[in-house]
Each structure stands twice: as C-alpha cells, then as structure tokens.
C-alpha cells in the first residue's frame, strides 16, 4: 500500500476516535483529530499526483473516507442539536443519488468523475465541521465573547456547503442524464 492510500486509511481509522472524543465531551481533542484527518485529504491527493501514485483503491476510498469523516461529524451534530436534521437529509440524499448514478454508469462502463463543484462542496464541508466543533468547544467552556462570531462563521460555511451540495447534485444529474436512460 502506497503512502497516499495509507493516509486515506488513516483518515478512516481516525473516525472512531473522533466520534468517541466528541461524544464524551472532549471537543478540543476531537477538533484536532478532525483537522488532522482533513489535512490528510489534501496531502494524499498531492502526493498521489506528484509521484504518480494514483490507484483505483485511492480513487474509490479517498472520497469515501471524506464522506465517512464529514458525515459522521454531521450525524453527531444533528444529535447535539447543532445542525438541523433536514440539512443532513439533503446532503445524504444527494450523496446516495450520485452514488447510485455512478454505480449504474459503472455497470455500463461509464466513469463519472468528480466535478469541481463537488470538490468545492467537500472543502466547504471540511471548513464548516471544524468551525461547528469549535463553536461546541467554546460553548463547553462558556467563552461567550467569541461564540457569536464562530457560530455565524460555522453556519455560513454549513449553508454554503448545502448550496454547493444541491448545485453539484443538479450538475451531476444534468451532465450525466444519459445514465437515467440505461
């Protein structure tokens, strides 16, 4: 297994630790783990492209690792009352729709590559989540002087990611409508 794939697997392995820390109220360590895991996403892609280490495993597991990390966090935050459930439902519905389209396309030998809008969506989500965790961490220590600013920034990125989620979903459907004709 090459280094980029090890980094991807490390991101997946970090998820249970992130979940355990968040659920037990250790928000600061959970925040550190989430940020470090998110940074592996940037690092594994750069290394894979620079050293020509792109593999089929990485093409499949890298975006899956991102989804496991980010959507685990969103699930915890819905349970915490930090984000509304309908936001997560829209995000997951888009993911299931695109995954279904990719599966049908793959069965016909068609590859649906990630578009820039999908990548922007992921980046916005990976910014929103640490801001939301930071908001939760500040709540836990009652540092109210900063809480409003962090809350607005977190919600701003969350809703920006939701808009990009919807936009990129429609973009995938429109660009790949032939999949529905199979």
Domains of the chain: 3-181 (1.20.120.1760)
| Cα separation, 37 vs 160, whole angstroms | 22
pLDDT-based confidence at residue 178 (cuts at 50, 70, 90): confident
How far does Cα 60 stand from its chain's mean position?
Answer: 14
- At residue 110 the predicted structure's pLDDT band, cuts being 50, 70 and 90, is confident
From CA 60, how far away is CA 50, in angstroms rounded? 19
DSSP for the chain?
--HHHHHHHHHHHHHHHHHHHHHTT-HHHHHHHHHHHHHHHHHHHHHHHHTT---HHHHHHHHHHHHHHHHHHHHHHHHHTSS-HHHHHHHHHHHHHHHHHHHHHHHTT---PPPHHHHHHHHHHHHHHHHHHHHHHHHHHT-HHHHHHHHHHHHHHHHHHHHHHHHHHHHHHHHTGGGGG-
Q: 16 pLDDT exceeds 70? A: yes
Q: Among residues of the chain, what percentage have pLDDT more than 90?
A: 70
What is the number of other CB atoms lying within 10 angstroms of the CB of residue 66?
Answer: 22
For residue 86, count other CB atoms closer than 10 A to its CB: 10
pLDDT tens string 93-106: 999 999 898 888 88
Chain position carrying tokens 């783990």:
33
pLDDT digits (tens, 9 = 90+) for 121-137: 999 999 999 999 999 99
The per-residue pLDDT for 168 is 95
Six token digits for residue 35: 């940020």
CB 163 within 8 A of CB 156: no
- pLDDT given at position 123: 92
Overall average pLDDT of the 63-80 stretch: 95
């Amino acid at each position: 297994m090459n280094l980029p794939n090890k980094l991807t697997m490390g991101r997946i392995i970090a998820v249970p630790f992130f979940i355990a820390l968040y659920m037990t109220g250790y928000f600061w360590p959970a925040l550190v783990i989430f940020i470090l895991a998110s940074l592996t996403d940037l690092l594994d892609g750069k290394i894979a492209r620079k050293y020509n280490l792109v593999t089929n495993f990485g093409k499949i597991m890298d975006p899956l690792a991102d989804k496991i990390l980010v959507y685990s966090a969103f699930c915890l935050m819905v349970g915490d009352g930090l984000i509304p459930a309908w936001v997560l439902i829209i995000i997951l519905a888009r993911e299931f729709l695109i995954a279904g389209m990719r599966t049908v396309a793959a069965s016909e030998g068609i590859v649906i590559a990630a578009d820039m809008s999908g990548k922007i969506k992921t980046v916005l989500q990976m910014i929103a989540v640490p801001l939301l965790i930071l908001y939760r961490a500040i709540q836990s220590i009652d540092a109210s002087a900063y809480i409003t600013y962090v809350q607005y920034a977190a919600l701003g990125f969350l809703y920006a990611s939701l808009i990009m989620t919807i936009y990129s979903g429609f973009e995938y459907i429109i660009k790949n409508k032939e999949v529905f004709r199979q």
